[in-house]
Structures are given as C-alpha cells and as structure tokens.
C-alpha cells in the first residue's frame, strides 16, 4: 500500500476523519515551509497538501491567490518546490501531496516531474484544471513513479463525470464542498452529502471534502460520512494574522479544528 492508502486504512479502522492541511510552498517565506509542515504534523494533521504557486489559479479564491502571488514573488518555482518537499519529507512521515495546475507540470515535463516528485517524497498529486477524461498521459507518468492521483467532483458534476473521476483516481476523491472557488465559509453546501453518496456508488476510494472547511462544526457534520477533509484558506488566513510566527498559528489552528470526542 502507498503511504496515502495505509493512512486512510488506519484512520478508517480508528473511525477518525483525516485532516489534510494545505500550505502554499513559499508562503509566508520559502525557508519556513518545511517548518510549517512539521508544525502541522505535530498538531495532528494526517497529511499535508503542498500548493505549488501558479500565476493563474482558476480554482482558487482570494486567500490562496494572495498566498500564491507572494510565494511567486519569493521566487518559488517547480524546482524549488521539489527541494522544499524533499526538506519537508525529512521532518515527517505523514503523506505529502502536491497541488498544482497543469501548465507548470507540462513545462517541467510529465515524466520528469513525477519522477522528481517521488524522489522528493511526494505521495500524491492534485491537478484541479485537469479533467479525468484528459488525464491518461499524466496517469501513466504518475503510475510509473508510484504517485497517487486525486480528482475533483463537485455538487454540479454530472454522474458520468463523477464515474470518470472515480475510475481515474487511485489516491482519493476530492469532493468540492461548495459551488465556486476556494475560501472559508460558514455553512456546507446542502448538495454535499448527496454528492458523497453518489461518489460512494462508484468507488471504494476514500472520499475527502475540501473548499470552505474551516470550523470544528464542519468536521463534526462530516464524521461518518466522508473519510477526510482538507483545510486550506482558513489555515492560510490564520498564518496571515501572524506572519512572524506562522508555526504557532498552524499548531493552534489545527489543534482547535478537531471537535472534542
């Protein structure tokens, strides 16, 4: 089993929801990212998603766009993100994923990128602008390098698209909790639970919910229904409030996110 698969299997046996923390590589400063990964793991994150900044992040809201722009100003490239991932892997054994858009991967080279990601200790890859129906080349490259792929489904997805995503993925299925771009929200979309039920009909892979996850109440509502959550914008917002001590903010936020048993 891959590191991702074994983590979800363990959490399922423990009846626990996985918490995946999203960090933008190079935000607030490039040299801090491995430290923030370590802080997230120490605070109970079950995996970390590392966002490689891109100049045109169509799926991302204001918070992640702002973090990505600062990271780009800080000199983050795909090559530097790979170096950061390798350094982060030395700090923790929890699964690490890359999230990036297709253009940076193509510019680096599909096979070269997947090999380098694997060598850096990356376990999974999320590419929000790559439909499952157009992913065969990346799937071949990722499979050859032992990288799990994750695909998105949304409350607006047609069942055929959901089925295609489930057939193409081998890491988990990323269920978008809201309609629109990323960003912390107060309420979950009423279409989310029916979406999870539809996904379950097409796959036995873990189902993870992201976009808008920001409160312990969200985790409580999803317990027993999803296998995990991704917290992104709310965590970056917390870092933004204390850029001089982001590791403390990461620990405090993630520790407070899990509802009491």
CATH label of the domain that carries residue 95: 3.20.20.70
pLDDT of residue 59: 62
pLDDT of residue 57: 64
Q: Does 60 qualify as catalytic in the annotation?
A: yes
pLDDT of residue 259: 63
Assigned token pair, 44: 């109970």
**Residue 231: strand pairing partners:** 21
Which is the catalytic residue, given 60, 148, 189, 237?
Answer: 60
Tell me the angle at which helices 110-120 and 136-145 cross, rounded to the nearest 10 degrees. Answer: 30
Closest C-alpha to 64, from 212, 179, 188: 212
Q: Does 49 qualify as catalytic in the annotation?
A: yes
Per-position pLDDT tens, the chain of length 261: 899 999 999 999 999 999 999 999 999 999 999 999 999 999 999 999 999 998 876 666 788 889 999 999 999 999 999 999 999 999 999 999 999 999 999 999 999 999 999 999 999 999 999 999 999 999 999 999 999 999 999 988 999 999 999 999 999 999 998 764 444 445 677 889 999 999 999 999 999 999 889 999 999 999 999 999 999 999 999 999 998 999 999 999 999 998 665
Q: Are 80 and 111 in contact (CB under 8 A)?
A: no
For the entire predicted model, the pTM comes to 0.94
pLDDT of residue 28: 96
- What is the Cα–Cα distance from 121 to 185, expressed in whole angstroms? 32
- What is the Cα–Cα distance from 146 to 154, expressed in whole angstroms? 26
- What is the Cα–Cα distance from 155 to 212, expressed in whole angstroms? 14
- What is the Cα–Cα distance from 103 to 100, expressed in whole angstroms? 9
Which is the catalytic residue, given 46, 49, 189, 237?
Answer: 49
pLDDT of residue 190: 83
Give how many domains the chain has, as a whole number. Answer: 1
- Provide the total of helices (H) and of strands (E) in the chain, helices listed first: 12, 8
Assigned token pair, 57: 């992040």
Q: Structural domain of residue 132, as residue ranges?
A: 3-257
């Amino acid at each position: 089993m891959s590191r991702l698969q074994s983590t979800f299997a363990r959490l399922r046996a423990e009846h626990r929801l996985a918490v995946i923390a999203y960090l933008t590589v190079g935000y607030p400063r490039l040299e801090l990212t491995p430290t923030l990964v370590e802080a997230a793991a120490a605070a109970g994150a079950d995996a970390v998603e590392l966002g490689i900044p891109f100049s045109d992040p169509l799926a991302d809201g204001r918070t992640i766009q702002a973090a990505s722009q600062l990271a780009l100003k800080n000199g983050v490239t795909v090559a530097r993100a790979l170096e950061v991932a390798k350094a982060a892997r030395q700090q923790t054994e929890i699964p690490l994923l890359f999230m990036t858009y297709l253009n940076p991967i193509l510019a680096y080279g599909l096979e070269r990128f997947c090999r380098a990601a694997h060598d850096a200790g990356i376990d999974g890859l999320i590419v929000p602008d790559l439909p499952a129906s157009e992913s065969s080349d990346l799937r071949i490259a990722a499979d050859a390098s032992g990288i799990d792929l994750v695909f998105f489904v949304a409350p607006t997805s047609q069942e055929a698209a959901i089925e295609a995503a489930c057939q193409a993925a081998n890491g988990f299925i990323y269920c978008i909790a809201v309609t629109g771009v990323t960003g912390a929200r107060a309420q979950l979309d009423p279409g989310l639970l029916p979406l999870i039920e539809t996904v379950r009909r097409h796959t036995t892979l873990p189902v993870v919910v992201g976009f808008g996850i920001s409160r312990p109440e969200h985790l409580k509502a999803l317990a027993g229904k999803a296998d995990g959550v991704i917290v992104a914008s709310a965590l970056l917002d917390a870092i933004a409030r204390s850029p001089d001590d982001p590791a403390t903010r990461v620990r405090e936020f993630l520790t407070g996110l899990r509802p009491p048993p």
